[in-house]
Amino acid sequence: MSPDAGAAARPDEPVVDSPEAALAVAEEVLERALRGGATEAEVLLTAEDSALTRFANSEIHQNVAERSMGVNLRFVVGSRVAVIATDRIDGTGLRNLVGRAATIARSCEARPDWPGLPAPQAATGPATPAWASGTADASPEFRAAAVREVIAEADAADVLAFGSFATGSEIVAVASSTGIRASERRSASQLLTVHSSPDGGNGYAEAAAMDATAIDARGLGREAAAKARASDHPVDLPPGDYPVVLEEYAVVDLNDMLGYVGFSALAVQEDRSFFEAGKRVGSELVTIVDDAADPAGLPTAFDYEGIPKQRVTMLDAGVCRDLVYDAATAAREDRPSTGHGLPAPNPWGPFPLNAIWSPGTASRDELIGGLDRGLLVTRFHYTNVVHPKLAIVTGMTRDGTFLVEDGRLVGPVRNLRFTQSYVDALAAVRAVGRDRRTLRGLLGAAVVPAMRLDGWTFTGATEH
């Protein structure tokens, strides 16, 4: 939490309660930086209101809220670049920010590859609303009512509910010496729950949405409760290669890892990605785009460098098409950024933060019905990259893994460890679900379907 969270505003501290107010503060910081000796400067301001209701053992045990403010200044002198941040926007705070940035910049090593700050780019289409009052106005009572619906479903199944309901809204503004001016309101919410049965079963359910009022809390509670009871008394299954149906919660892990090791321009430039434009790496049933304007996800109009978001087709019917770029990676290839920059300093490069997977035509029953003998996997846990170039990942199943025979669920099995190339997994897709879910991942949000794959390599069993 910010050291000044909850404290009274300083006499000369402006109130940031709108995108216009945020942009005005960003422009003031920019002017101070240029007067302070910067040859280039970029200001990113974020003002966030976030709240979280946690529950455990089917009881709400915590409700917290935070209001935070952040100003991130990229101060450039020639090709010497300093990045410094503060949570104070009063006169003294901004003077200290600019003064420290100027001192640090002049002591930094020059960057011979410095491309300069990005220039403004035109938006490629109309903006999609990124903010909903239903989320911004969400009260503790609103979240508690949703949690009670989750718990009611747990009670009905005689299981215990654990989880959280988060709601938040923020104002983001970017101003730079190259002429970039961008500001907007954004909102996001996430309800997730794990239900635990006294007989050893666990069930998971989750949803994310720009508008918190769109989340079906009772439906999530019912789903997690049913999964918890269905996974009671799991049995051991030997390791091996099994056909699988991956539910959406498992697919979002594929999305995260593929975005991290594959679809980032920096990963390709550093020769640690499987991506090769025009190369087929997946089934023709798999198309993945990054589209921050799609209302099914969590929309945003621009990135943290103030560049408008572009729709990027990363995988088109299994064929590699394009990558996401920020200003630095785009400059290396003399092309425009696709609007995927993260806040400076950013050693990780650009990431697809708004991935949208195309739906298929199969119902859930049809996905499962296509397995002669295989596994239904709810989600993955503790996944880590073993070989970035081949997108080999290791991890475990969690919260509901089931044996399927002759197209029918037979019963639960203990969680399994796996080591699997996620690129090979793309090639093994044989059916895609027609329904999709909006979920939070490690890299933003994703809209994903369930999928059936010909094979998945399980290397060992877990104790639970």
Looking at the fold, whether 107 and 249 belong to one and the same domain comes out as no
Q: Is 128 helix (H, G, I), strand (E, B) or coil?
A: coil
139, 172, 196: which is the final residue of a domain?
Answer: 196
Report the domain count for the chain.
2
Give the CATH number of the domain where residue 128 resides: 3.30.2290.10
Q: Is 214 helix (H, G, I), strand (E, B) or coil?
A: helix
Q: Name the one residue in this structure whose structure tokens are 């044989």.
A: 430
pLDDT mean over 323-352: 97
Domain assignment of residue 210, yes or no: no
Looking at the fold, whether 370 and 453 belong to one and the same domain comes out as yes
Phi, psi values for residue 249, rounded to 5°: -65, -25
CA distance 394 to 109: 39
Domain residue limits at 383: 234-464
11, pLDDT greater than 80: no
Query: To the nearest whole number, what is the mean pLDDT of the chain?
Result: 95
132, 166, 196: which is the final residue of a domain?
Answer: 196
9, pLDDT greater than 80: no
Whether 303 and 339 have beta carbons less than 8 Å apart is answered as yes
3, pLDDT greater than 70: no
Q: What is the largest CA-CA distance in the chain?
A: 73
Instruction: Identify the band that residue 213 occupies on the pLDDT scale cut at 50, 70 and 90.
Output: very high
Q: State the pLDDT at residue 1.
A: 33
pLDDT mean over 193-205: 97
pLDDT in tens, 33-47: 999 999 999 999 999
Cis check: omega of the bond before 345, within 30 degrees of 0:
yes
230, pLDDT greater than 70: yes
Domain assignment of residue 413, yes or no: yes
Domain assignment of residue 214, yes or no: no
Q: State the pLDDT at residue 412.
A: 97
Domain assignment of residue 206, yes or no: no
Q: What DSSP letter does each residue of 163-178 carry, written as one string?
A: EEEEEEEEEEEEEETT
pLDDT mean over 195-215: 97
Domain assignment of residue 10, yes or no: no
Q: What DSSP letter does each residue of 295-346 carry, written as one string?
A: TTS---SB-TTSPBP--EEEEETTEE---B--HHHHHHTT----S-PPSSS-
7, pLDDT greater than 50: no
CA atoms within 13 A on the CB side of 171: 19
Looking at the fold, whether 358 and 302 belong to one and the same domain comes out as yes
Domain assignment of residue 9, yes or no: no
pLDDT in tens, 342-401: 999 999 999 999 999 999 999 999 999 999 999 999 999 999 999 999 999 999 999 999
Domain assignment of residue 207, yes or no: no
Instruction: Identify the band that residue 5 occupies on the pLDDT scale cut at 50, 70 and 90.
Output: very low
Q: State the pLDDT at residue 4.
A: 37
178, 196, 214: which is the final residue of a domain?
Answer: 196
Query: For residue 440, what are the contacts with CB-CB under 8 A and spacing of at least 6?
Result: 190, 206, 208
pLDDT in tens, 164-189: 999 999 999 999 999 999 999 999 99
Looking at the fold, whether 38 and 138 belong to one and the same domain comes out as yes
Query: For residue 357, what are the contacts with CB-CB under 8 A and spacing of at least 6?
Result: 251, 255, 286, 287, 288, 432, 436, 446, 447, 448, 449
Domain assignment of residue 127, yes or no: yes
Looking at the fold, whether 159 and 57 belong to one and the same domain comes out as yes
Looking at the fold, whether 369 and 446 belong to one and the same domain comes out as yes
Looking at the fold, whether 313 and 167 belong to one and the same domain comes out as no
Looking at the fold, whether 250 and 153 belong to one and the same domain comes out as no
148, pLDDT greater than 80: yes
Looking at the fold, whether 263 and 123 belong to one and the same domain comes out as no
State pTM to two decimals: 0.95
Looking at the fold, whether 353 and 461 belong to one and the same domain comes out as yes
463, pLDDT greater than 80: no
Looking at the fold, whether 38 and 173 belong to one and the same domain comes out as yes
Q: State the pLDDT at residue 464.
A: 59
Q: What angle do CA 265, 269, 274 make, to 5 degrees?
A: 75
pLDDT mean over 402-409: 97
8, pLDDT greater than 60: no
Q: State the pLDDT at residue 2.
A: 36
Q: State the pLDDT at residue 172.
A: 98
pLDDT in tens, 51-94: 999 999 999 999 999 999 999 999 999 999 999 999 999 999 99
Looking at the fold, whether 101 and 239 belong to one and the same domain comes out as no
